[in-house]
Structure 1
Amino acid sequence: MKIGIIGEFNPAFIPHTATNQAIVHSCTQLDVSIETEWISTENAEHDFDSMISRCNGFWIAPGSPYRSMKGALNVIEYARKNGRPLLGTCGGYQHVVIEFARNVLQIDDADHAEYDPYASKLVISKLACSLVGQRLDVLLHNKQSIVYKIFRKERIAENYYCNFGLNPDYQKVLDDNGLKTVGVDENGESRIVELQDHPFFISTLFVPQSRSTQESPHPLVSSFIQHVINTR
């Protein structure tokens, strides 16, 4: 079993090294063995068929802008349509939103302010205040969601590394069409999205891997890995 981690690995970027460590923490907790492979977004674009044939699940990593937005979006679309477990964190969350807006909502020019701040349809926009380095509460308001069943609590505290998030103008239309906001900040703005009727397709604007330790693996990472292990 293998997880494809989609992004340009940078050993100096804490969320990337934390991703590797969090997977080890959860595998130890679950007493399972799983391979991981960092796959650059460029390789995801140009070696797509080979990549999807060798990966059972995908983690869309922090660290945008990616070298190839198309590569990241292709992986997200494949996982969405084919029931493959997917976890997106930080930049991964942002690109999950872009893929859904373009391919499900048919907003062909849906874009990301980090790539083009002057785009006409900024589905991902700059946050009013940077969240880099902050730990903030997230409210889990949908008790029917997979996310709520993982945490079994209504409030969690998580770490952020981002400057961009879902434009609130698009939150309702995403929700109405199946990409449900299942976690929000104190102002009701989206912080976790979950695809309805999918085994595991969850993305967080925060970086759960940064809160994982050997003694206390992050429950969201552990649940993702369990779903990958169960994928056939």
Structure 2
Amino acid sequence: MPKQIALIGEYNPDFPPHVATDRAIADANASRNTDIQGIWVSTAAIDATLFQTFDAIWVAPGSPYKNLDNTLWAIRYAREHKIPCFGTCGGFQHMILEYARNVLGFEAAQHAEYDPYASDLFIAQLDCSLVGRELELEFIPGSQIAAIYGQTTAIEQYYCNFGVNPDYVTPLQSGELNVTGSDAEGEIRVIELPNHPFFIGTLFVPQARSTPENPHPIVTAFLASLM
């Protein structure tokens, strides 16, 4: 049976990042001659049987999700059980939220989309929207993300209005989760967890730049982690 990825989010065929997610998986499959299937799973449908069916999760753009608790449970399970987990845009934000709550001990850690007045707002609205923008990134030498790209700089596209609250950068960096990519202003754009087959989150949307001729290296690396 082909390996399967749960594409966690509320699928909308009119939302470009969702269409791009399906396309990027197809591009990576074609380049690797594999048949790894991406299947959309609403956050409202997540239950304890999720990982009996799926071999990995991709927490997709398009938040707020229908069920925050289910989303964080899936990320935590993947993190603790060494199951490949990829998060882009909203997925990146929720990976940080899960880590803040369950590893750093900020039980009230919150995302501004759900509660903009929360006491521990790890994910806040950006001063300037990044929707549709392309920005240069810098990766930490020796990081997993730098190895995937084969270089320490890249230009990527964004589709988000939320990011890491600057007030919580220091506590976020106090744990094992590594910040391995930033933009020209030093804002956090990539996180990864060491000693895990694949636990990477990007605030940018790499799938938007994938083509059949040039499958995106992160998506290709994600699929490779399932084999």
TM-score range, shorter chain: over 0.9
Partner of 2:218: 220
Deviations 1:168-217 (A, max 9, x none): 22223222201111000111110000012211100000000000000000
What is the CA-CA distance between 1:8 and the residue it aligns to? 0.5
* RMSD, matched Cα: 0.8
What is the CA-CA distance between 1:20 and the residue it aligns to? 0.2
Runs (5+) with no aligned partner, structure 2: none
Q: How far apart in 2 are the matches of 1:171 and 1:224?
A: 26
Deviations 1:65-97 (A, max 9, x none): 000011110110001000001110000000000
1:163 equivalent among 128, 146, 161: 161
Q: How far apart in 2 are the matches of 1:101 and 1:83?
A: 18
Q: Would you say how many aligned residue pairs link Structure 1 and Structure 2?
A: 225
More helix by share: 1
Partner of 2:171: 173
Deviations 1:143-183 (A, max 9, x none): 22110100121210000010000112222322220111100
Deviations 1:124-153 (A, max 9, x none): 01111000010001111x222110100121
1:213 aligned partner, one-letter code: T
Percent identity between matched residues is 46
Partner of 2:34: 32
Q: How far apart in 1 are the matches of 2:170 and 2:192?
A: 14
What is the CA-CA distance between 1:17 and the residue it aligns to? 0.5
Partner of 1:201: 199
1:182 equivalent among 169, 180, 183: 180
8 Å Cα contact 1:5-1:58 kept in structure 2:
yes
- What's the TM-score, normalizing by structure 2? 0.97
1:22 aligned partner, one-letter code: A
2:80 aligned partner, one-letter code: K
Change (3 A) 1:158 1:185: same
Q: How far apart in 2 are the matches of 1:138 and 1:171?
A: 18
Partner of 1:51: 50
8 Å Cα contact 1:171-1:181 kept in structure 2:
no
Partner of 1:90: 89
Runs (5+) with no aligned partner, structure 1: none
SS of the counterpart of 2:225?
helix
SS of the counterpart of 2:173?
helix
1:28 aligned partner, one-letter code: A
Partner of 2:21: 19
SS of the counterpart of 1:220?
helix
What is the CA-CA distance between 1:31 and the residue it aligns to? 0.7
Structure 1 stretches of 4+ moved >3 Å: none
What is the CA-CA distance between 1:49 and the residue it aligns to? 2.3
Q: How far apart in 1 are the matches of 2:14 and 2:4?
A: 24
Partner of 2:80: 81
8 Å Cα contact 1:179-1:195 kept in structure 2:
yes
1:7 equivalent among 3, 6, 9: 9
Q: How far apart in 2 are the matches of 1:71 and 1:138?
A: 31
